[in-house]
Structures are given as structure tokens and as C-alpha cells.
Amino acid sequence: MMHFRAISHLAFTALLCGACAPTTNFSYLQRTSASANDHIMLVRRDPPTFGFQRLAAHAIALPDLGVFLSQSGEPDFLAETNKSGNRYLILYYTKSSKAFACRTGGDGSRQVEFSGPYPITAGEKRTLEGLRDRSGPR
């Protein structure tokens, strides 16, 4: 039940971000893609971070990602990159020291492939927690 509430909240937040129609959601993802590319973003719901907004928009655009999030919960961090026409998302769960990779197809594709979990090393975890600490108070 908790995971369903989490994904419902992600979807609601995406709606508030201007993602009320699939074309608008796609437009938001396109407009903010350059800002997200090759970055690790904090995923915080309150106040909503850029990482949270990107994740919510991706969850709407990629239904399999939405299902994954409803089962696994929100990650603490999201990283995005493009390579060879594919978009890669890395979902970092620092509490469990695990990460999952998601590969999406080319432009307009709603297909997503998942791999993982991969262990997060102690050094990576310290780095991610340092990023969270520097992001300021909640």
C-alpha cells in the first residue's frame, strides 16, 4: 500500500509540474534533458527537487518505470545520461546500498530495460550522502 501511495504522489507531483498530458510530459522531459544529462540528482519529495520532478515525469512517460517505483519505492538519487540514442537512468538507494540501471529506447520509445541491483560501495555511499548533506535542510 505504501508503494502505491508513493507512485501516486509521484504522478500527482508530475501533474503539478505541467505534465498533465503525455505531450506536455514529453515536452517537459525534452526541455529539461540537457540540465539532467550526466548529473546525479537528489530525489526529495518535500520540497520537490529537480531529481524528483524528473523521476516523476519519467514514471509517467515510462509505465514500466512507474511499476518498478511502486514496488521498490523512490530512490534517494537519480542519475541520467545519453549514449548511442538511449537514455540511461541510475536509481540509487543509499539505505540499502543498492543501485538499479534502466535503459530506455530511442526518442519516443516507452520501452525500458532494468538491470541490478548493483552494490553501492562505501565510498559511493559517502559521496551520495555528502551530496544530500550539502543540499541543505529539508
pTM: 0.75
**What's the rounded Cα separation, in Å, for the pair 99 and 89?**
10
58-72, 105-119, 123-137, range with greatest mean pLDDT:
58-72
Is 134 a residue whose pLDDT tops 70?
yes
92 grid coordinates: 540509487
pLDDT value for 117 = 96
Domain hosting residue 85, numbered range: 2-134
Report the amino acid identity of residue 130: G
Q: Which helix (H) or strand (E) holds 15?
A: helix 2-16
> Of all residues in the chain, what percent are helix, strand and coil, respectively (each to 5)?
45, 25, 30
Percent of the chain predicted with pLDDT > 70: 68
Q: What is the pLDDT of residues 45-104, one digit of tens each?
A: 989 999 999 999 989 989 999 999 999 999 999 999 888 878 899 999 999 999 999 998
Q: Is the dihedral of CA 65, 66, 72, 75 positive or negative?
A: positive
Phi, psi angles (nearest 5°) of residue 122: -60, -40
Specify the number of domains making up the chain. 1
Using the structure block, give the residue that is written with the C-alpha cell 537519480.
Answer: 78
Q: Which helix (H) or strand (E) holds 35?
A: helix 22-36
Phi, psi angles (nearest 5°) of residue 87: -105, 135
